């Protein structure tokens, strides 16, 4: 009995010692005033469907800068004829698109540029490759480009219709390469990049299947017309808003060009009508 009593006293003593040891750090801790109300804290739940965050990498993932280049001078919608050729523009603005073909006389060419520059007008020139550097001098071609006009494809040697009808798509691709190489060798890469546009006009307006397939393969826009030098004559169809006018670099067309410059029409190039001119 005495042994049991000693065991009980030992248990009581151990319990009191434990309580005393634990109460010391509680008493020593600073008092904290708890707020009467505890604000609700949102709980973040991970989205199991969310993709994992990308790991750091030394390679740049930024997208390349893309320069948009559409500064249209007019409100115009291209109109295509039944052969899918650009032939005019639908517009409410009083403008005429001026296109000028061929080029076999540097003297006449300079006179044409004189009239355009005097009136601050740009045009699209559909030129023949055999003239580059020979009949048409480098200085004249550079002058054309520096004053805001454009150069477009019109064949290398302007073959006769009988030859055109036999030319395949491959023949035209070869012809276009000759044309491009001839122009590039005369004016250089910088002027070429600045002044050459991706438009084409078939010699004599002979839009054959081979020529059209070549244009599609090369990504060139076929540009026709709906007005020529006869539009200035009596009893002829007059110019209208959005007309594409074709003239030639010949002395006989200088009078028509002067009449156009003296008219109330706003005269612009194909590139300006399509809104493809960069500042």
List the CATH number of the domain containing 86: 3.20.20.370
Average pLDDT for the chain:
82
> Residue 265: which pLDDT band, with cuts at 50, 70 and 90?
very high
144 lies in a domain? Answer: yes
Q: Does residue 62 sit within a domain?
A: no
Higher pLDDT, 28 or 251: 251
Does residue 5 lie in a domain region? Answer: no
pLDDT score recorded for residue 215: 98
118 within domain boundaries:
yes
Range of the domain at 90: 76-274
Q: What is the pLDDT of residue 73?
A: 76
pLDDT of residue 75: 87
In a domain, 9, yes or no: no
The total of structural domains in the chain comes to: 1
pLDDT in tens, 94-150: 999 999 999 999 999 999 999 999 999 999 999 999 999 999 999 999 999 999 999
Residue 27 is assigned to a structural domain of this protein: no
Tell me whether residue 105 is in a domain.
Answer: yes
* φ, ψ dihedrals at 116, nearest 5°: -65, -45
> Could you please report the per-residue DSSP string of 109-166?
HHHHHHHHHHTT---EEEE-GGGBTTTB-HHHHHHHHHTT-EEEE--SS---HHHHTT
For residue range 150-174, list pLDDT tens digits in order.
Answer: 999 999 999 999 999 999 999 999 9
Mean pLDDT of 239-262: 97
Answer yes or no: is 17 within a domain.
no
Burial 161-171, CB ≥16 within 10 A → b, else e:
eeebeebebeb
């Amino acid at each position: 009995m005495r042994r049991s009593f000693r065991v009980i006293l030992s248990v009581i003593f151990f319990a009191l010692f434990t309580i005393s040891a634990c109460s010391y750090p509680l008493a020593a801790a600073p008092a904290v005033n708890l707020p009467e109300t505890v604000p609700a804290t949102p709980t973040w739940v991970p989205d199991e469907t969310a993709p994992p965050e990308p790991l750091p990498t030394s390679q740049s993932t930024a997208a390349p800068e893309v320069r948009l280049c559409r500064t249209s001078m007019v409100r115009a919608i291209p109109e295509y004829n039944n052969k899918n050729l650009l032939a005019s523009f639908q517009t409410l603005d009083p403008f005429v698109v001026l296109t000028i073909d061929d080029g076999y006389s540097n003297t006449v060419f300079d006179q044409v540029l004189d009239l355009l520059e005097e009136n601050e007008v740009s045009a699209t020139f559909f030129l023949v490759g055999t003239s580059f550097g020979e009949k048409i001098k480098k200085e004249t071609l550079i002058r054309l480009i520096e004053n805001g006009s454009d150069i477009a494809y019109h064949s290398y040697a302007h073959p006769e219709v009988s030859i055109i009808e036999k030319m395949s798509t491959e023949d035209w691709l070869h012809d276009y390469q000759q044309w491009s190489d001839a122009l590039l060798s005369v004016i250089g890469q910088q002027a070429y990049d600045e002044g050459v546009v991706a438009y084409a006009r078939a010699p004599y307006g002979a839009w054959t299947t081979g020529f059209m397939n070549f244009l599609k393969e090369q990504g060139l826009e076929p540009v026709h017309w709906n007005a020529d030098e006869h539009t200035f004559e009596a009893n002829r169809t007059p110019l209208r808003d959005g007309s594409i006018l074709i003239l030639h670099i010949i002395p006989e067309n200088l009078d028509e060009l002067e009449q156009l410059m003296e008219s109330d029409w706003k005269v612009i190039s194909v590139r300006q009508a399509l809104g493809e001119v960069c500042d």
